[in-house]
Structures are given as structure tokens and as C-alpha cells.
């Protein structure tokens, strides 16, 4: 899987130079790292489930990239991919995650009490707060590689776990293929519904196969906790609410994740995790915490300030439009979130968001009064 | 090494020798249904029932014929190259289809797919090709263009004439399954052969990876350039992988004979010209095809062909002749006549817009071509188009004069 002839041994009858992809016009992490020699060395390997290097890199070959935006250009088909194709994935991970070394250890901290503050972001500026991550279920292959049988098993297990949650997490699961029109309309209005992936970054990796079989959405009755099943990862877990109480959002996030993990562990299918890479996800860019914690915040003046991008970089934050990745901002409202995923913990990353956004709101207020903000510009975090 | 093995085995000379000495087993390996050697069995963690796709919302030939029993029988099988049933049907699972338009819903990854997955492909072929039964029938191949009569249309009505087909190189996997090395080998073999064409067929190859902006613009202006497939019917089958590596276009200097390399098939061969001289278009078509075949045979290669399925192509809908012969024809009055659909049906023709499949007609100009591909020869199909288009032009002329037209009788039932 996902495409023919990417994982059989017949092609080993051809010489390396005949099979090595033409990456001369490519600008992604995989293309920068995969030399012909490296390809020759790893091309005869397979993970236990049969995933090969050609499967890993297909998306990066088919999507040469953009001169300004550096995509990853490779995916994992299972947990073992990160081990079996170390020669390729370690340098990709290092390039993507600020020089993270193969010997580094990643810290996981989902203890929400370790977060300082975060409950007092000014709601006049901070419109909404959200934290998301992904989780992979041990013992199954990942979305680029899994078969219908596996995907359905993942769904079944996930639905069992998610519908057994209680308290503020009590909710309902909506399978994509049997959703009614009314339910679909409601989920779209709530901004919950995810669509069949159209991005070639995902479709070329085989993640949209058999759509919508085995895919669905669970959300709690309060509509503040949401789980996507079998989209780009086994699970995407989202906690969100209007306003600036990131502390509450993060608490719900941590508690919900822990409850879900307990249930999966009882079924002998815990989450994929190790002390070097943290949580294992499909895209190497989401390793570590897989966490993106962010807000929609009004910064019309600050966003046009000459130093805006510099400030974001120093705060270890990134900006996106309010439609998410690759969209533009509307009315001076930006999506501001942590830039890092691997090498720092969940608490540390959310702390950066909380502290950074608080500072930027103060800068915005200063600019409104016509005052300068130069003294407020922080050092590199 | 399977590819050179199959090349040696399947060369017609070798088969002749083996048959002569009475030993048909090895030669029959690739030709006889039961004896195709299987690839490694598929690694499977779940039973067939857990893997069987949900086809309840689907309307394509694969979905109609893939019962749980057939799925269970075939799901562990693989061709010698490792192509599996799940790979063959993926495009049909991902593209449920349209209530009015029934797509095929599956592809072949290699020549052996048609054998290994015959339990599914045979009924699909039968449905798609009007009852043609691959296990009992033989497909006629006839590329003798001299047999065509009345093939020069009234150019007041016919704006252009075109014949296309596809050819696959035996021993190399098809576009859904080929590796980069295989695809590059297809390109080498074909380009090498095309370089041997002479006279009115003398031409040049433009590789998609190396073409200059100027060359690209010219090819677009000539309406020759093909794009990276965007149709999910093709992309879900993996045919756009590694684009544009090893893809290209060859055409003769006169711009009347064109070969696409590694798009939906190993090769697509097109003969075309302005005006209504379909006979000449078909003559060039046959001459070009025979020349290319001779040139690849000189180098030890051959086209995928067998007597049951004719020319082997990626999509089961293109088996047999793989031939679509058509014209762009102006029929403004007839286009408004409600009997047009029935007339075309009985003439065994289909209409498309002038943009090709799935486009609309503009200004009463239609693309009219043969419906059938398998079970009838190239000559028969081109003659059908010739006779049919002549009939349509007659209808248009009658309508111009205010006379009435007749719906022609349906053809005799095929393949029952």
C-alpha cells in the first residue's frame, strides 16, 4: 500500500540509478537529505508490515514544494518506519525540529497544573482558544498504509473508548458515511466537520483511500472537546472554546487525553510513544507533542508593524490565517500558535503561547495609544 | 529476472518453436488462464470479510461484480510483480461513480492482472463490452486500412478526423504499478523505436522533464500537450506518481502522427488531420503502428497482445482494439433533434463535446466516435464510424432541406 509496486522485491532487479527519483527541482526536507547512496542503502528494506522507502517518499516526489515553504516530503506508514528508515528520517527530523539529534530525549508533560497563568487573556482581543494534538494507536499501521480492515478496527476501538467518556466529555460519535444531512449541516456550522483531504501532500501519500470508510467525528455535548478519527492520523484530539481562557482549554485537553489513553491501554492498545520521539504520528513534523496550541487574536496594528515577524520568531510562535494552515488573515485577526513540536513538552509549548500572546496584546494596546513598543520586544526564547 | 524471462518466453518466434515441438506448457504460462505463476501471497492481518469494501453507494462495473465471495477468493493473490486485488480496485472504491455514467472502477497493474483476477475482470469485461466473454471468445485484429470504403467525408461538415489507440510493452508493468525504473525503460524502448521512423513519419520526442518553455507553448498551441492527470479516476489508481518523470510526447514533423509516452498507458498513438479524410488518417495510423511494432521487435520487445483480449491496456474499457476513431462534425440541426440519441445508439456511436470526454458540444459541433472496443476489429470499427458519420451528414442535409429523417435500425445483437 498505497500504490502498486512500491513494496515488492521485483524492482530490486533494477539498478539504483534507474530507480532513484529525480529530485533536481524539489524543495522539501526529504529531497535535501535523500542522496542516491542513501536510497541505494535503504531501498531493499521493509518494515514488518511491508512499508518501503518508496512508500515513505512518494508524497515528496509528487509534490516538489515551493521556493518559500519547506514541506517535509515524507511520511511514516507505521511505528517502525522511524527505526527502519532512520538514515533518512533522522536528518529530516533534525532539519525540521531545530537540530534535534538522534540521541536527544523528548519530555512529555501533560500535567495542566504546571501551566502558569493562561486564564486571563483579554477576551476583547483573544476571540477563541484551542489546543490540538494527534495520537496513534499502538499495534496498527498509520493512515498512509493501513487497510480497510485495520482502519475499521481503529474506528471501532476509538468509538468504544470515546463513547464511554463521561462528565464534561460525554458525547456522541458521527461516522462520516452514515451522517444525516442535518447532522452534517450542524457539524459544518460548528466548524467541526473535516473534509476528504484534497491537498496532494496527503492524497499522494494515500491517506484518502477508501474515503469515507472508517472515518468520523466525536464531540462532547458542550462542543468543547472533539476527536477526529482516521483523518491524517488515527486520532486528532481538539479542545476549544470562545474567549481567552487557555488554561481551561489546556486542562480539558490534558484530562481528556489521559482518560482516553487509559481506556486504550485497558484494551492493550496504548498510544505510540517513545522517549526519543515522543508521540509517534504520520507526519514527522508532528512528532514530540504533536501539539498546536493557539488563539484567534485581533492584532490589526501589531500585525502591520515592521517587527511583527521578528517578534513571532523570538517568541517561538507562528502565524496563520483564520482558516488554518495556508490561509490569509481576515480583518487583522490571526491564528497564533506554537512553532515547536519536538524537544519541548506540552506545558512548555502552551506556556510560550500564553506568555507570548499576552505580551502581543499588550503591544497592541500600546500601539493603539500611539506609543512605541521597541522596549517590549523580547529576546529570543 | 521476470521481465527478460517473459520477453524471451513470449516472443512469437519462441512460441512457434515450442508449439512445434509439442511443448506448450512454458509458452502457455503467460497465455493460458490457469497456469500464471502467482506472486508472493499477500500479508494479511484481517479476514476478507473485514477488508471487503463498502460498495453500497457505488455505481461502477467493479462494484457490480465484486461479491464478497469473489473478494475472498482473490484478496490473497498477487501477480508475479506483486500487484494485488486491493490495488486493482482502489480507484473504484475511491470513486463511487455517477448514477448516469457507469465507470469501470478498476485497472490492471500488469498483463498478468487479467489472468490472476479473471474471476472479477471477466464479468467486468463482459458487462462493459456488450457480453463479450473472454474465456470463450476470440478478438479479431485487423490493421489493413485498404479495406475502408467511403472514408472521405464532406468537409463542409467534418472539421477534423482522428484515430487513437494505446499500446503496452510486454514485460513491463502498467502505469498504475510501474516503478520509476520500469517507466523509464518504457520511455527508452519507445523513443528508441520512434527515432527509426522515416519520411512522412519522421519526427521528434519532447520529454516533459526537459522541454523548453517555447516547445511547451508550441505543443499547447498545437493541442498536443497532455497534462498531469487530475481526474481522481486516474490519480487514485496511482497513474500520476513521479510526474513528470519519463513522460513525453513524440510527433512527426507534419504534426499528423503523435505518440504520448507514459500517460494513462505505456503509449497512446494518435493519427489526426484537419478535414474529413478518415481513410487517410487510418492508413497513416496503421502504417505507423506496424512500423513501431517492427522497430521494437528488432530490439527484442513486443506489444502486449493475446487472442482473447486483443491489445492489453491499463483500463479494461480499452481492451481489444483500444481504438477510438472520431470526427469533429457540425450538426447544428440534428443536434436539436430529439431522435439524435437513438440514432447514435443504433449506429453504435457516442457523442462528446469538442473538449473530449466529459465536455459539452459547442456551436452544434460534436465529437462523434465508436462506442465499441473489443470483439470487433479496427477495420470494422473504423468502417462503423465512416458509415455512421455519413449517415449523420445525410440526416443533417435532409433537415436543411426540410425533409424528414429516419432512425436507422439497431445492429444485430452482439456476443450472445
- Cα–chain center distance at A114: 23
- Nearest CB partner across the interface for A213, out of B54, B80, B243: B54
CA dihedral defined by A358, A359, A362, A368, rounded to 10 degrees? -120
Whole-number Å distance between alpha carbons of B82 and B2: 12
Whole-number Å distance between alpha carbons of A363 and A336: 15
Mean pLDDT of B5-24: 34
Whole-number Å distance between alpha carbons of B265 and A357: 55
Interface test with B, best of A5, A22, A210, A269 (most B CBs within 10 A): A5
Does pLDDT of B31 surpass 60?
no
Mean pLDDT of B54-71: 97
Does pLDDT of A74 surpass 90?
yes
Nearest CA in chain B to A206: B236
**What percentage of chain A carries pLDDT values higher than 90?**
84
A14·B50 Cβ contact <8 A: no
A16 is in an annotated binding site: no
Alpha-carbon gap: B87 to the closest alpha carbon of chain A (Å): 6
> DSSP label at A194?
P
Please tell me the predicted confidence (pLDDT) of residue B11.
34
Q: DSSP of B49-115, one letter per residue?
A: HHH----TT--BHHHHH--HHHHHHHTT-B-TT--BHHHHHHHHHH----SS--B-----SSTTHHH
A129 is in an annotated binding site: yes
Annotated binding site of B for ATP: 160-164, 223, 268, 324-328, 352-357
A325 is in an annotated binding site: yes
pLDDT by residue (tens digit) across B191-227? 999 999 999 999 999 999 999 999 999 998 888 888 8
**Using H for helix, E for strand and C for coil, what is the string for B102-120?**
CECCCCCCCCCHHHHCHHH
Please indicate if any CB of chain B lies within 8 Å of the CB of A5. Answer: yes
Please indicate if any CB of chain A lies within 8 Å of the CB of B365. Answer: no
Whole-number Å distance between alpha carbons of B197 and B403: 49
Q: Which residues from chain A sit within 8 angstroms of residue B182, using beta carbons?
A: 5, 11, 14
Does pLDDT of B256 surpass 70?
yes
Q: Which residues from chain B sit within 8 angstroms of residue A22, using beta carbons?
A: 209, 245
Does pLDDT of A68 surpass 90?
no
Q: Which residues from chain A sit within 8 angstroms of residue B52, using beta carbons?
A: 148
Please tell me the predicted confidence (pLDDT) of residue B29.
31
Q: Cβ contacts of residue A216 below 8 Å, gap of 6+? A: A155, A159, A173, A174, A175, A176, A229, A230
Please tell me the predicted confidence (pLDDT) of residue A376.
92
Alpha-carbon gap: A133 to the closest alpha carbon of chain B (Å): 27
B109·A58 Cβ contact <8 A: no
Which grid coordinates are listed for B240?
500520476
Mean pLDDT of A175-199: 87
Interface test with A, best of B181, B185, B239 (most A CBs within 10 A): B181
Mean pLDDT of B331-343: 94
> DSSP label at B327?
E
Please indicate if any CB of chain B lies within 8 Å of the CB of A210. Answer: yes
Whole-number Å distance between alpha carbons of A211 and B96: 10
Per-window interface: A 280-339 vs B, CB < 8 A:
none
Please tell me the predicted confidence (pLDDT) of residue B7.
38
With bands split at pLDDT 50, 70 and 90, how would you rate the model's confidence at B24?
Answer: very low
Per-window interface: B 36-65 vs A, CB < 8 A:
39-40, 43-47, 50-54, 57
Q: Do the Cβ atoms of B26 and B9 come closer than 8 Å?
A: yes
With bands split at pLDDT 50, 70 and 90, how would you rate the model's confidence at B190?
Answer: very high
Beta-sheet pairing, A292-298 with A278-279? unpaired
Whole-number Å distance between alpha carbons of A234 and A224: 20
Per-window interface: B 162-191 vs A, CB < 8 A:
173, 176-182, 184-185
Q: Looking up cell 499502538, which residue turns up?
A: A138
Does pLDDT of B345 surpass 70?
yes
Q: Looking up cell 523505436, which residue turns up?
A: B193
Strands (E), chain A: 126-135, 171-175, 216-220, 225-229, 235-242, 273-274, 278-279, 292-298, 317-320, 333-338
Please indicate if any CB of chain A lies within 8 Å of the CB of B142. Answer: no
Q: Give the residue among B90, B151, B400 at the shortest CA–CA distance from B276.
A: B151
The reported pTM is 0.89
The whole-chain average pLDDT of chain B stands at: 88
A58·B81 Cβ contact <8 A: no
Please tell me the predicted confidence (pLDDT) of residue A4.
53
Among the ranges given (A217-221, B36-40, B248-252), the one the predictor scored with the smallest mean pLDDT: B36-40
With bands split at pLDDT 50, 70 and 90, how would you rate the model's confidence at B23?
Answer: very low
A50·B43 Cβ contact <8 A: yes
- Nearest CB partner across the interface for B46, out of A6, A21, A149: A149
Please tell me the predicted confidence (pLDDT) of residue A210.
97
B185·A177 Cβ contact <8 A: no
Residues in chain B, total: 416
Q: Give the residue among B101, B251, B103, B260 at the shortest CA–CA distance from B175.
A: B260
pLDDT by residue (tens digit) across B77-118? 999 888 999 999 999 999 999 878 899 999 999 999 999 999
Per-window interface: B 230-259 vs A, CB < 8 A:
235-236, 238, 240-243, 245
Annotated binding site of B: 160-164, 223, 268, 324-328, 352-357
A96 is in an annotated binding site: no
Please indicate if any CB of chain A lies within 8 Å of the CB of B210. Answer: no
B179·A15 Cβ contact <8 A: no
Beta-sheet pairing, A171-175 with B310-311? unpaired
Q: In sequence order, what are the beta bridge partners of A218?
A: A173, A227
CA distances from A110 to A248, A257, A258, A318 (A): 13, 9, 8, 22
Nearest CA in chain A to B4: A13
Q: How many CB atoms lie within 10 A of CB B14?
A: 14
With bands split at pLDDT 50, 70 and 90, how would you rate the model's confidence at A193?
Answer: confident
Q: Give the residue among A13, A14, A33 at the shortest CA–CA distance from A23.
A: A33
pLDDT by residue (tens digit) across A7-42? 567 788 899 999 999 999 999 999 999 999 999 999
With bands split at pLDDT 50, 70 and 90, how would you rate the model's confidence at B311?
Answer: very high
Query: Between these two residues, B88 and A192, which has the higher pLDDT value?
Result: B88
Q: Cβ contacts of residue A314 below 8 Å, gap of 6+? A: A377, A378, A379, A380, A381
Please tell me the predicted confidence (pLDDT) of residue B16.
33
Please indicate if any CB of chain B lies within 8 Å of the CB of A64. Answer: no
- Nearest CB partner across the interface for B82, out of A5, A61, A213: A5
Amino acid at each position: 500500500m498505497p500504490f502498486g509496486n512500491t513494496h515488492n522485491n521485483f524492482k530490486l532487479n533494477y539498478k539504483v540509478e534507474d530507480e532513484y527519483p529525480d529530485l533536481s527541482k524539489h524543495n522539501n526536507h526529504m529531497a535535501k537529505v535523500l542522496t542516491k547512496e542513501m536510497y541505494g542503502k535503504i531501498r531493499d528494506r521493509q518494515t514488518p508490515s511491508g512499508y518501503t522507502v518508496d512508500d515513505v517518499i512518494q508524497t515528496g516526489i509528487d509534490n516538489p514544494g515551493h521556493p518559500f515553504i519547506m514541506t517535509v516530503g515524507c511520511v511514516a506508514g507505521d511505528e517502525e518506519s522511524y527505526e527502519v528508515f532512520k538514515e533518512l528520517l533522522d536528518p529530516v527530523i533534525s532539519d525540521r525540529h531545530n537540530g534535534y539529534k538522534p540521541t536527544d530525549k523528548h519530555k512529555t508533560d501533560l500535567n495542566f497544573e504546571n501551566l502558569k497563568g493562561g486564564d486571563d487573556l483579554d477576551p476583547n482581543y483573544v476571540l477563541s482558544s484551542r489546543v490540538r494534538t494527534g495520537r496513534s494507536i499502538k499495534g496498527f499501521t498509520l493512515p498512509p498504509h493501513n487497510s480497510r480492515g485495520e482502519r475499521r478496527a481503529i474506528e471501532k476501538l476509538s468509538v468504544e473508548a470515546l463513547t464511554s467518556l463521561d462528565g464534561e466529555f460525554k458525547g456522541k460519535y458521527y461516522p462520516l458515511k452514515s451522517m444525516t444531512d442535518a447532522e452534517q449541516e450542524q457539524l459544518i456550522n460548528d466548524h467541526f466537520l473535516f473534509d476528504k483531504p484534497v491537498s496532494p501532500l496527503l492524497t499522494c501519500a494515500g491517506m484518502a483511500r477508501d474515503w469515507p470508510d472508517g472515518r468520523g467525528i466525536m464531540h462532547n455535548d458542550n462542543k468543547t472537546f472533539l476527536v477526529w478519527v482516521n483523518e491524517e492520523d488515527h486520532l486528532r484530539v481538539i479542545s476549544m472554546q470562545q474567549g481567552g481562557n487557555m488554561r481551561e482549554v489546556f486542562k480539558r485537553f490534558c484530562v481528556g487525553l489521559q482518560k482516553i489513553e487509559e481506556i486504550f491501554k485497558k484494551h492493550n492498545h496504548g498510544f505510540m510513544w517513545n522517549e526519543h520521539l515522543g508521540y509517534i504520528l504520520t507526519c514527522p513534523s508532528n512528532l514530540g507533542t504533536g501539539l498546536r496550541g493557539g488563539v484567534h487574536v485581533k492584532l490589526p496594528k501589531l500585525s502591520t508593524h515592521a517587527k511583527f515577524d521578528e517578534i513571532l520568531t523570538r517568541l517561538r510562535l507562528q502565524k496563520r490565517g483564520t482558516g488554518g494552515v495556508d490561509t490569509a488573515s481576515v480583518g487583522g485577526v490571526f491564528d497564533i500558535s506554537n512553532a515547536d513540536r519536538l524537544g519541548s513538552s506540552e506545558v512548555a509549548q502552551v506556556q510560550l503561547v500564553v506568555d507570548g500572546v499576552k505580551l502581543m496584546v499588550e503591544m497592541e494596546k500600546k500601539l493603539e495609544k500611539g506609543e512605541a513598543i521597541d522596549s517590549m520586544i523580547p529576546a529570543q526564547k | 529476472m521476470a521481465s527478460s524471462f517473459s520477453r524471451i518466453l513470449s516472443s512469437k518466434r519462441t512460441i512457434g518453436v515450442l508449439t512445434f515441438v509439442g511443448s506448450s506448457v512454458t509458452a502457455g504460462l503467460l497465455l493460458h488462464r490457469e497456469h500464471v505463476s502467482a506472486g508472493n501471497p499477500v500479508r494479511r492481518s484481517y479476514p476478507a470479510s473485514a477488508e471487503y469494501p463498502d460498495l453500497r453507494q457505488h455505481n461502477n462495473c467493479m462494484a457490480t461484480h465484486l461479491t464478497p465471495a469473489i473478494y475472498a477468493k482473490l484478496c490473497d493473490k498477487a501477480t508475479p510483480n506483486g500487484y494485488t486485488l486491493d490495488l486493482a480496485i482502489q480507484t473504484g472504491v475511491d470513486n463511487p461513480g455517477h448514477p448516469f455514467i457507469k465507470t469501470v472502477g478498476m485497472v490492471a497493474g500488469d498483463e498478468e492482472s487479467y489472468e490472476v483476477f479473471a474471476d472479477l475482470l471477466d464479468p467486468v469485461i463482459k458487462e462493459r463490452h456488450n457480453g463479450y466473454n473472454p474465456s470463450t471468445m476470440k478478438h479479431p485484429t485487423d490493421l489493413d486500412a485498404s479495406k475502408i470504403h467511403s472514408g472521405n467525408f464532406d468537409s463542409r461538415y467534418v472539421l477534423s478526423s482522428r484515430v487513437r489507440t494505446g499500446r503496452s510493452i510486454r514485460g513491463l508493468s502498467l502505469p498504475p504499478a510501474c516503478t520509476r525504473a520500469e517507466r523509464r525503460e518504457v520511455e527508452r524502448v519507445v523513443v528508441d523505436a520512434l527515432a527509426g521512423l522515416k519520411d512522412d513519419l519522421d519526427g521528434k520526442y519532447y520529454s516533459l522533464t526537459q522541454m523548453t518553455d517555447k516547445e511547451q507553448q508550441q505543443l499547447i498551441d498545437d493541442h498536443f500537450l497532455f497534462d498531469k492527470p487530475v481526474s481522481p479516476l486516474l490519480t487514485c489508481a496511482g497513474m500520476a506518481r513521479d510526474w513528470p518523470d519519463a513522460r513525453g510526447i513524440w510527433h512527426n514533423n507534419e504534426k499528423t502522427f503523435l505518440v504520448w509516452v507514459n500517460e494513462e498507458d505505456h503509449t497512446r498513438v494518435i493519427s489526426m488531420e484537419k478535414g474529413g479524410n478518415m481513410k487517410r488518417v487510418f492508413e497513416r495510423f496503421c502504417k505507423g503502428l506496424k512500423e513501431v511494432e517492427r522497430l521494437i521487435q528488432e530490439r527484442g520487445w513486443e506489444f502486449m497482445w493475446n487472442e482473447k483480449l486483443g491489445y492489453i491496456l491499463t483500463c479494461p474499457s480499452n481492451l481489444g482494439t483500444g481504438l477510438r476513431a472520431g470526427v469533429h462534425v457540425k450538426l447544428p440541426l440534428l443536434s436539436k433533434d430529439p431522435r439524435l440519441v437513438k440514432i447514435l445508439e443504433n449506429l453504435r456511436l457516442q457523442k462528446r463535446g469538442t473538449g473530449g470526454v466529459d465536455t459539452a458540444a459547442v456551436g452544434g459541433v460534436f465529437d462523434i466516435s465508436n462506442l465499441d472496443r473489443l470483439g470487433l476489429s479496427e477495420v470494422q470499427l473504423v468502417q462503423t464510424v465512416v458509415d455512421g458519420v455519413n449517415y449523420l451528414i445525410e440526416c443533417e442535409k435532409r433537415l436543411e432541406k426540410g425533409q424528414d429523417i429516419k432512425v436507422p435500425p439497431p445492429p444485430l445483437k452482439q456476443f450472445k
